[in-house]
Each structure stands twice: as C-alpha cells, then as structure tokens.
Amino acid sequence: MVDLNSLKGNELSAAMRGGTEGWGRQASSADNVRYSVKITGRGRRSICSCGCKNKATDIGMANGLGLTSGCEFSVALWVRTGKIKTMENLRRLWK
C-alpha cells in the first residue's frame, strides 16, 4: 500500500482518481490514470521522441511508473490520448 501523504500534485490526483492497487509495480497507459511530471535536476536529458529535436522536459507516468518522456507538448498529448504523436502526424493534422 502506498503512503498517500508522500505523494504530491499530479501523483496524488491520479492516485485518488484511479486507486493505488499495484502502485509502483505495474502500469498501463490504457488501464491506469495518465499524468505528467516535470523532469528536475541537471542530469543528461534525452531528445524528445516526437521529432521536435528538443530535450525531454516531462515524464509521462501512470500508476507511479514512468512510461514515456518528451517535450511538454508531446507528453500533454500522450496524457490526453494515450498515444505518442510524432511531428509528421501532427503536421498532417495541422494542414
């Protein structure tokens, strides 16, 4: 059982909406509540997978586990839809 007092912000909101069963052990973007967390610290950051060539600033999480990372825009889209969008697909949508 996870200690709800140790959770903050988006994590606490997701835990209250989706429950804490399996928290930190298993996660699914289809079955669990998705949320994003900002990357903190000065460590090496990966390049965003959407194709914007920026560094990853956010982590897409579900059930206490990080499932994806990317720029703020791509992770926000993942939180809403559960699917990773690439720049090629986004350009088609904008036309």
pLDDT, tens digit, 9 for 90 and up, residues 29-58? 888 999 999 998 888 888 887 888 889 999
Residue-range definition of the domain harbouring residue 83: 4-94
Neighbours of 44 (CB within 10 A): 6
pTM of the model: 0.80
> In terms of Cα–Cα distance, which of 16, 33, 34, 14 is closest to 74?
34
Give dist(CA 42, CA 10) in Å, integer.
22
Tokens encoding 8? 């903050």
Q: Which amino acid is at 42?
A: R
- The DSSP symbol for 49 reads T
What is the predicted pLDDT for the residue at 20?
Answer: 83
What is the predicted pLDDT for the residue at 67?
Answer: 92
* Domain count of the fold of the chain: 1
Cα-based distances in Å from 21 to 3, 17, 68, 71: 12, 12, 21, 29
The pLDDT of 9-31, averaged and rounded, is 85
Q: What angle do CA 63, 21, 10 make, to 5 degrees?
A: 35
